[in-house]
Amino acid sequence: MAELADAQVIFTPSGRRGRVPAGTTILDAARGLGVDIDSVCGTRGICGRCAVVPAFGEFPKHGITSEPSHLSPFGDVEAAYRAEHGLADDRRLSCTARVLGDAVIDVPPESQVHRQVVRKDLDARPFQLDPVVRLHTVDVTPPDLATPTGDLGRLFDSLRAEWGIDGLRADLHVIRALQPALEKGSYRVTVAVHGGRDLIAIWPGFHDRAFGVAIDVGSTTIAGHLVDLTDGSILASAGVMNPQIRFGEDLMSRVSYVMMHDDGATALTEAVRKALDGLLATLVNRVGIKRAELLELAIVGNPIMHHLLLGIDPTPLGSAPFALAVDTALELPASELGLITHPGARVYVLPCIAGHVGADTAGVILAEEPHEATDLTLVVDVGTNAEIVLGNRDRLLAASSPTGPAFEGAQISSGQRAAPGAIERVRIDRDTLEPRFRVIGVEVWSDDPAFGAALGAAGTGVTGICGSGIIEVVAELYLAGVITADGVIDGSLAARTPRIVPDGRTFSYVLHEAGGAGPGSPRILVTQNDVRAIQLAKAALYAGVRLLMDQLATETVDEVRLAGAFGSQIDPLHAMVLGLIPDCDLSRVRAAGNAAGTGALIALLSGEARREIEGVVRRVEKIETAVEPRFQEHFVEAMALPHRTAPSPNLERVVTLPRRATAGPDDGAGPGAARRRRRPVPAATTTGDDR
């Protein structure tokens, strides 16, 4: 029989092309040309991961004609796979279909190992899967008396021969499970290889399920996504409260608890691990899988959460020089954290950056990629501590600023966490000073006649103000002239509106009257102390940002991303009116969602991303706000709304700011004179009674 000629094969979308001997399987042709096609079963025709879509017709661009007869006929293996699992009419299994003539072959995303993962719902950038855990099915040579080698050695031999994997080492539990698996699978087994190096799991026969969880351990909430490691899809997301709250509302009070109690660190570690384990239980139950199917976890958290979860004493983080026990990424068995998973499951913990800038910030960087930007990009993750990253591809700086819990609704008289019934949006009429607002869980605004009914339908009253609501109400009160640039509620307006009411030596603004929207609706005031708490928080954030801007010798930033649950809810305009962030083109200020959690997700699914963030963290310049002498100076300047001295050209293009009484050409004293007259308010002595 005449020998078949070579054939030209072109793969899309990669565009890789080359000649292969006719009769070569499409998969072998692809591998020879460096085309990325997935496989678990190792060409046994049972995993379906290698499915491709041949394209037929004339391809003048490529100079070839691709015809059905240029591939081997649809075979028994493919027919069996189609009958059992379904295989679309236009698809072929590349491990069995052979190239007989010129062909154009499309590799669909789901058949690529390094496929793109796109998660619009998470505000996540598209990223490329680079699985850390890979499954491989192999047939192992049965033992015989003539070649008395161990089963593990023969398994390694098969993995080397079939998959080209060398230098493996096996967990002890895998060695224990090896012989039963070989026996049950008739010497066919599937193994999970972690990082191309560790044999962490074994199953008899063919097995193609592997799951992982990406976890963000926040000081308030622990959130997780359960992910199919084989394709990057998120199967369930859930969150639990961090039970450490009972030991202290904020991070430093938890460190104090550890310092004052002999078993404090143990108690806090046990609490967070128990909550994390509960979260895993919730996630696997939701998806209907077993804990033993969890093979990989990726975790982010601020430095104190990071240390407590790992069982490391966090007290050195409580005072200068704020020394981390470890600032590199960690990889450890999940069992070391007491988590119930597959016995071989590994945990990847992203690297902390500095004493106050943790693995959560590493996650934010991974998700938002400021280190890839050409423009100067500011990313702030606002919580009880604000983590701040500023820079671009040339330099990247990070710091943390102690904003306190005001942005989360704590320390605010009517403050509450974001939950149904909480006021989240506010507008104040500039003439009548009357408010209208929207609460979480209800679509219509409070001045809509349908508001009462909508509240009733939602089963809530107006219960308080959440972080985004307090930002908006303070900013709106400032724009309406109720609050001065110094943050003082102007009591003289009591003559104009009954909404300004005396409150000791200061005044409050009545945002909502008790019972006005049905039962469960208390009177909601914005007090002078509330305004002060917000000023202190926003000044701390701004001062931290300003320190980083000083380091880069810049007066402006090009782009702002607001990350975290709170950051994602706040309106950029109101954040800028308040002076929470520096003046910037408003169209370039956007929410980044839970960027820390997204970073954990990316790290869970990509070994390449792990290497990337480890490299970036090494070159991040860390600024310690607590010991920077200029922090207090910037803080004092930033107490004013939006700022005592910084110009707001972008903001003033879209909104009319009240004329500054403290400095300006019309105040009769010229710019700077009033500023010099006015004594700054030191943070330590600022109270609600300083009017």
Q: Which residues bind ligand FES (CB under 6 A)?
A: 39, 41, 43-50, 93, 95
37/545 with CB nearer ligand FES? 37
Nearest distance, CB of residue 49 and ligand FES, angstroms:
5
CA distance 18 to 8: 6
48/185 with CB nearer ligand FES? 48
Residues in the chain: 691
Q: 298 forms bridges with which residues in the sheet?
A: 214, 348
- Contact yes or no for 327/352 (Cβ under 8 A): yes
49/273 with CB nearer ligand FES? 49
Nearest distance, CB of residue 344 and ligand FES, angstroms:
23
Query: What number of CA atoms fall less than 13 Å from residue 660's CA on the CB side?
Result: 23
45/664 with CB nearer ligand FES? 45
Nearest distance, CB of residue 101 and ligand FES, angstroms:
21
Residues 6+ apart with CB under 8 A from 645: 637, 663, 675
136/574 with CB nearer ligand FES? 136
32/278 with CB nearer ligand FES? 32
93/124 with CB nearer ligand FES? 93
Which two three-digit tokens encode residue 419? 């939950």
Residues 6+ apart with CB under 8 A from 217: 242, 272, 276, 299, 300, 301, 305, 306, 309
- Report the alpha-carbon angle 229-230-236, nearest 5: 50
Radius of gyration of the chain (CA): 30
20/222 with CB nearer ligand FES? 20
- Contact yes or no for 168/159 (Cβ under 8 A): yes
Helix axes 303-310, 359-368, angle to 10 degrees: 120
33/419 with CB nearer ligand FES? 33
Which residue's C-beta sits nearest to ligand FES? 95
Nearest distance, CB of residue 123 and ligand FES, angstroms:
35
Identify each DSSP E strand in 302-440 by its residue range.
330-333, 346-349, 377-382, 386-391, 396-401, 422-428, 435-439
Residue type, 460: T
Nearest distance, CB of residue 607 and ligand FES, angstroms:
22
- Other CB atoms within a 10 A radius of the CB of residue 36 amount to 15
Nearest distance, CB of residue 206 and ligand FES, angstroms:
9
Q: 460 forms bridges with which residues in the sheet?
A: none
C-alpha closest to that of 381 among 361, 407, 409: 361
Nearest distance, CB of residue 43 and ligand FES, angstroms:
5
CA distance 286 to 457: 28
Whether omega for the bond prior to residue 642 falls within 30 degrees of 0, making it cis, is yes
- Contact yes or no for 254/133 (Cβ under 8 A): no
78/171 with CB nearer ligand FES? 78
Residues 6+ apart with CB under 8 A from 104: 9, 10, 12, 54, 55, 56, 59, 62, 64, 66
51/592 with CB nearer ligand FES? 51
Nearest distance, CB of residue 76 and ligand FES, angstroms:
13
CA distance 607 to 599: 12
Nearest distance, CB of residue 77 and ligand FES, angstroms:
8
Nearest distance, CB of residue 95 and ligand FES, angstroms:
3
Nearest distance, CB of residue 44 and ligand FES, angstroms:
6
Residue type, 305: M
Three-state DSSP at 576 gives: helix
Nearest distance, CB of residue 421 and ligand FES, angstroms:
53
CA distance 535 to 403: 10
48/405 with CB nearer ligand FES? 48
41/378 with CB nearer ligand FES? 41
Residues 6+ apart with CB under 8 A from 485: 478, 640, 641, 644, 658, 660, 661, 662
Helix axes 630-637, 528-551, angle to 10 degrees: 130
- Other CB atoms within a 10 A radius of the CB of residue 557 amount to 23
205/248 with CB nearer ligand FES? 205
Nearest distance, CB of residue 82 and ligand FES, angstroms:
11
Give the max Cα distance, the chain.
106
Q: Tokens 């505000």 correspond to what residue?
A: 123
Nearest distance, CB of residue 47 and ligand FES, angstroms:
3
CA distance 392 to 369: 9
